[in-house]
Amino acid sequence: MEIAPSILTADFTRLGAEVEAAFEAGIRWLHLDVMDGRFVPNISFGPLVVQALRPLADRYGAILDAHLMIVEPERYVEAFVAAGCDRITVHVEASPHLHRTIQQIKALGAHAGAAINPGTPTAALEAILPELDLALVMTVNPGFGAQAFLPGCLAKVRWLRRELDARGLREVAIQVDGGVNATTIGACRDAGANVAVVGSAIYTRGQDVASAVARLRAALEPGEPAVSAWS
């Protein structure tokens, strides 16, 4: 399972060092949560941060994966690709012309993803699945880091895994985002996800990044319990 740290809870006064610490720990997929204060109740950062991180990602051969939690994402897709994003995910709820936006991302040379919030049914993704490189299931209500995992969202992951397998679309990644830590990551994998976005379980003040990544990997080892009492 790919572990994709989210920089949302990182120390932005030393962001380069925080990201490099993850890369030194073997991470090769960085998740960039972009928020506009309208689609979600928070504001984060824009293309300039992506541009600043691109040379560091290139040094380690890492992916920059932008999750656009913004209204009218089609207006900003080009800027984020130009800044250096390899993958861009937009929300079903924010994209009235989702197919067009997905095609726009691909035409610009990036991989395209679509995300659903906890209150959005998986049926909202059904028609667009053949066009996607990634399907993202939010396992918290988006907007802030360090929220508690919503276990009911695992049913959506299981539906996606069954649907993608049935259609022969196994190359489409299933990503989970929100509340993922050493206790919950195994359940996400067992439900069928293969990319886990991890924020505060990696980036918390006073916590060593390499040790945090090692704990997550240990939780994915065979024989480890998948989850707490939710099973």
- Given 36, 65, 133, 177, the catalytic residue: 177
What is the distance between the alpha carbons of residues 191 and 186, in angstroms, rounded to a whole number?
A: 9
Q: Is 33 a catalytic residue?
A: yes
Environment class of residue 15 by beta-carbon count within 10 Å: exposed (0-12), middle (13-18) or buried (19+)?
middle
Q: Is 177 a catalytic residue?
A: yes
- Given 33, 36, 65, 133, the catalytic residue: 33
Q: How far is CA 160 from CA 100, 115, 181, 213, in A?
A: 22, 12, 21, 26
- Neighbouring C-alpha atoms within 13 Å toward the C-beta of 223: 1
The amino acid at 188: C
* Residue 154 contacts residue 194 (beta carbons within 8 Å): no
* Residue 130 contacts residue 162 (beta carbons within 8 Å): no
* Residue 139 contacts residue 153 (beta carbons within 8 Å): yes
**Helices 15-24/209-219 angle, 10° precision:** 40
Q: How far is CA 48 from CA 52, 89, 112, in A?
A: 6, 18, 20
Catalytically active residues are 33, 177
